[in-house]
């Protein structure tokens, strides 16, 4: 298995533009998580899905952020419009719901200028 695959690895965009981050979880995993890593806040959970259904989106900063999981093998995190303070590394992780640990992707480093 190739693990959790995120794309792109790096994204540089101008303030106000729409940004879409993509994630392919491990096949057979039924939970998917989006985290954001910043110096100030460490790893913070944005949203997670069980069986493609959003369970907890309380970590999504504001309405500019949205996430979808149209099927078991794909999820997107969209920021529209993007702002400089959104600059961070965004991680996707997947797991088998009944088990404890996650497998993380390599992350997308987003820079909004």
Partner 1 sequence: DQQVKQNSPSLSVQEGRISILNCDYTNSMFDYFLWYKKYPAEGPTFLISISSIKDKNEDGRFTVFLNKSAKHLSLHIVPSQPGDSAVYFCAARIKAAGNKLTFGGGTRVLVKP
Site for partner 1 in 49-68 (CB under 8 A): 50, 55-56
What residues from 75 to 104 belong to the interface with partner 1 (CB under 8 A)? 91, 93, 95, 97-104
Rounded CA separation 64/4 (Å): 25
Residue 20: CB atoms within 10 A of its CB come to 14
Provide the 3-class DSSP secondary structure of residue 85: helix
In degrees rounded to 5, what are phi and psi of residue 22?
-125, 150
Q: Cβ 11 to partner 1, closest distance in Å?
A: 14
CA 13/CA 99 separation, integer angstroms: 37
Residue 43 touches partner 1, criterion: CB under 8 A:
yes
- Closer residue to partner 1 in complex, CB, 12/43: 43
Judged by beta carbon, residue 28 or residue 42, the one nearer partner 1 is: 42
Tell me how far apart the alpha carbons of residues 87 and 83 are, in angstroms, rounded to a whole number.
8
What's the min distance (Å) between Cβ of 81 and partner 1?
27
Residues that bind partner 1 (CB under 8 A): 4, 31, 33, 35, 41-45, 48, 50, 55-56, 91, 93, 95, 97-107
């Amino acid at each position: 298995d190739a693990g959790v695959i995120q794309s792109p690895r790096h994204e540089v965009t101008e303030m106000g533009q729409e940004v879409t981050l993509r994630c392919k979880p491990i096949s057979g995993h039924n939970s998917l998580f989006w985290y954001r890593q910043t110096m100030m806040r460490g790893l913070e959970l944005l949203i997670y899905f069980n069986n493609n259904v959003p369970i907890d989106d309380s970590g999504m900063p504001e309405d500019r952020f949205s996430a979808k999981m149209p099927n078991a093998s794909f999820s997107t995190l969209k920021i529209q419009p993007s702002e400089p303070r959104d600059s961070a590394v965004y991680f996707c992780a997947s797991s088998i719901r009944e088990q404890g640990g996650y497998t993380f992707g390599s992350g997308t480093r987003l820079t909004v200028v």
